[in-house]
Amino acid sequence: MTAMLKIWLDGALVAKDEAKVSVYDHGVLYGDGCFEGIRAYNGRVFKLGAHLDRLWCSAAKIRLTPPYSKEAIAKAIRDTLDANGLRNAYIRLVFTRGIGTLGLHPFRCPKPGTFVIADRIQLYPEELYEKGMKVIVAQRPRIPVACLDPAIKSLNYLNNILAKIEAIDADVLEAIMLNVDGFVAECTGDNVFAVKNGEIFTPPAEAGILRGVTRGFVMNELAPALGIRVKERMFRLPELLAADEVFLTGTAAEIIGVSQVDDHAIGSGSVGPVTTKLMHEFRKRIEAGAPED
């Protein structure tokens, strides 16, 4: 099936092998563009409205005018899923600056590029959702907020990739990143939550994080439905290590418990009860029909 995969590229569905982006595209040359990672569950596109809103916000912050309406992009996503016969998929939606010159000037790129990929993904092995995953703390700090607005989900992920390499070198799959002031920020591709005495806390935007869509779903819908308080606040690594539970959220990851950070076991060293409740509530809602708003 992979060989027959269809990509939506600038208004047309084309075979994967024919989906080409110019070497003069500023997305390639400079990481100049923005993207969203989205999930489809049983034919429903999870939080599509929130993802499109965030993408348009990212585009506005880099002064990139989307070449299509939100309605047209929503249809492109559904058309791509249908063309590939996928009801459960990971979707990558990308705006690039488009073809321009070899200079940095972004406004010499007359037309932004757009593409949609729909494929399958399994970020972490299933056994880690049952036992919890080990992570490290990266030596590489997050880019300061004053240097790069973390609300921009840009095509330049090198800061995250360098921290991801640290995780791979340590034989784990994820790394927690601190900001330059030593506060917990986020992971290379996931948001971080901690649980203490039955209450959840998570870093705020000013810590240098992307406000994840799954993060928002946990904070604003799942946790309140379970009667669990969630608070955004700054905290440092010792407080994270002293937590009863730690879990991560992300579009690809969904919700996954952390059993160990570096050489330090978190809580009992397994997936805790609050994390388990949230995982079950997430799955229950997805099976009932993934919310698309």
Q: Which positions are catalytic?
A: 153
Counting every residue written for the chain, the total comes to 293
Rg value, the chain, Cα: 19
Residue 230 and residue 196: Cα distance in Å, rounded? 11
Q: What is the dihedral of CA 118, 120, 123, 127, to 10 degrees?
A: 160
Residue 69 and residue 27: Cα distance in Å, rounded? 20
113: helix, coil or strand? strand
Distances (CA, A) of 166 to 2, 17, 287: 30, 32, 36
Give the pair of three-digit tokens for residue 275. 């994390």
Residue 80 and residue 13: Cα distance in Å, rounded? 7
Give the pair of three-digit tokens for residue 266. 């978190």
Query: H/E element holding 104?
Result: none
